[in-house]
């Protein structure tokens, strides 16, 4: 069976046991009907088959069953673009400009200079789309209807942004850093995807311009030759194919800052604020909310009664550190500690597992992560119009037979 035939089988709802590509329809019970009908497994050049949400601009998510390792492989890492023109950049031609009205010595840096002239640092960090799980919003809201897989965890290598800004002579009057990548809309009239971060976050030692991902050059689809890494914050600030960073004395007023990626004020427990962009009603999204994902058990799965079942998953947050993951096998009536796995740093996925022997009958499995800031996952969705920050505790029904 060739891949196309296989893909047709999967999208037709045909169950093919024992393969990694299995995508049980019931897993997506919460997604809109049209989302399920239009999804398919599709491999972009250089990528493994991922779940296609849209072809152009390309939006592809990682199937839950593929989050088996704490590090997400580059060829399984999710893909998210806003604009359809995404140039392939020759690394030898690429230049990053550091400038703006708040620097005294603007300069351009080539990839070779970036790799040679600055201290190289590494960090493991979760890259998660602000709208991950948007498709599960109740009621549904417009946008890319993501399931659980618009995220990944990688080891990023590059240069601290604060070192670049120091060389440019950033002044005390800088308010934000304006970020621009090489992507463009199909029409000139479409607003360029320009984002910004506050100066204090830009000067954080963990914020880097990365040119390597899991020991390899970044894939084209994930921002080659270099992208910004903003650990703890959602991926909207992790500008891909970054070509310009400008320290500015006034807040950036682009559509993508002023209108998009905003959450109502006071609804979420985020600690980090972006005060120069706040209005009376809303604020830019900032931190990744504490969350977890069950990766090896899916809705409707049949397991053997009386045999040990190892429930596995990942937990992550904005960098306060995962303190505990509790698991319930009775729909949330009682909770027990899961065992935490390898600690690759406070911005990384934290693997966990929990073993129990299901008695004959139905069980509802849930996982609940808590972090060092005393935050935990929510039982009920905190609804917001753009479907951001969904960290509702999963409820996965299985049957032991």
| Shortest distance, position 24 Cβ to other proteins, whole Å | 19
- Cβ-contact 353, 310 below 8 angstroms: yes
Which C-beta is closer to other proteins: that of 32 or that of 341? 32
Which C-beta is closer to other proteins: that of 87 or that of 374? 87
Which C-beta is closer to other proteins: that of 18 or that of 45? 45
| Shortest distance, position 345 Cβ to other proteins, whole Å | 34
Rounded CA separation 282/278 (Å): 6
Rounded CA separation 303/294 (Å): 15
| Shortest distance, position 384 Cβ to other proteins, whole Å | 15
Nearest Cα residue to 196 out of 158, 249, 157, 153: 249
Which C-beta is closer to other proteins: that of 84 or that of 166? 84
Nearest Cα residue to 340 out of 191, 332, 279, 348: 348
Rounded CA separation 233/319 (Å): 9
| Shortest distance, position 131 Cβ to other proteins, whole Å | 12
Which C-beta is closer to other proteins: that of 69 or that of 138? 138
Which C-beta is closer to other proteins: that of 23 or that of 126? 23
- Cβ-contact 310, 296 below 8 angstroms: yes
| Shortest distance, position 279 Cβ to other proteins, whole Å | 18
Opening angle at CA 295, ends 289 and 297, nearest 5: 125
Q: Per-residue b/e over 297-309, b at no fewer than 16 CB within 10 Å?
A: bbbebebeeeeeb
| Shortest distance, position 86 Cβ to other proteins, whole Å | 8
| Shortest distance, position 85 Cβ to other proteins, whole Å | 6
List residues binding other proteins (CB under 8 A): 32-35, 37-39, 42, 44-45, 52-58, 84-87, 139-140, 142-145, 185-191, 255, 259
| Shortest distance, position 47 Cβ to other proteins, whole Å | 9
CA atoms within 13 A on the CB side of 154: 28
Which C-beta is closer to other proteins: that of 141 or that of 166? 141
Which C-beta is closer to other proteins: that of 83 or that of 121? 83
Which C-beta is closer to other proteins: that of 70 or that of 84? 84
Which C-beta is closer to other proteins: that of 119 or that of 281? 281
| Shortest distance, position 328 Cβ to other proteins, whole Å | 30
| Shortest distance, position 189 Cβ to other proteins, whole Å | 2
């Amino acid at each position: 069976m060739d891949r196309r035939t296989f893909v047709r089988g999967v999208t037709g709802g045909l169950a093919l046991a024992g393969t990694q590509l299995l995508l049980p329809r019931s897993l997506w019970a919460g997604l809109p009907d049209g989302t399920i009908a239009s999804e398919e497994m599709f491999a972009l050049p250089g990528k493994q088959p991922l779940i296609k949400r849209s072809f152009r601009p390309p939006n592809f998510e990682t199937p839950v069953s593929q989050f088996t390792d704490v590090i997400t492989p580059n060829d399984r890492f999710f893909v998210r673009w806003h604009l359809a023109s995404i140039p392939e950049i020759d690394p030898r031609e690429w230049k990053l400009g550091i400038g703006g009205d708040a620097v005294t010595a603007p300069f351009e840096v080539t990839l070779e200079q970036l790799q040679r002239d600055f201290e190289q640092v590494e960090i493991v960090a979760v890259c998660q789309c602000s709208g991950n799980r948007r498709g599960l919003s109740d009621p549904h809201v417009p946008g890319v209807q993501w399931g659980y897989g618009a995220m990944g965890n990688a080891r990023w290598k590059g240069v601290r942004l604060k070192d670049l800004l120091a060389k440019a002579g950033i002044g005390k009057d800088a308010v934000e850093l304006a970020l621009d990548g090489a992507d463009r809309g199909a029409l000139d009239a479409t607003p360029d995807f320009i984002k910004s971060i506050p100066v204090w976050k830009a000067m954080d030692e963990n914020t880097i311009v990365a040119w390597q991902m899991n020991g390899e050059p970044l894939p084209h689809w994930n921002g080659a030759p270099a992208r910004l890494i903003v650990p703890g914050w959602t991926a909207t600030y992790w500008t891909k194919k970054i070509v310009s960073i400008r320290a500015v004395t006034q807040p950036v007023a682009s559509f993508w800052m002023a209108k998009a990626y905003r959450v109502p004020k006071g609804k979420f427990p985020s600690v980090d604020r972006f005060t120069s962009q706040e209005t009376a009603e809303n604020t830019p999204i900032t931190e990744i909310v504490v969350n977890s994902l069950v990766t090896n058990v899916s809705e409707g799965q049949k397991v053997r009664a009386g045999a040990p079942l190892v429930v596995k998953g990942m937990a992550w947050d904005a960098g306060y550190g995962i303190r505990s993951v509790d698991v319930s096998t009775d729909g949330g009536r009682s909770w027990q500690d899961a065992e935490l796995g390898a600690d690759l740093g406070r911005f990384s996925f934290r693997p966990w597992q929990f073993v129990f022997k299901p008695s004959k009958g139905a069980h509802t499995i849930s996982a609940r992560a808590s972090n060092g800031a005393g935050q935990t996952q929510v039982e009920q969705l905190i609804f917001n119009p753009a479907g951001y920050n969904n960290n509702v505790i999963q409820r996965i029904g299985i049957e032991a037979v």
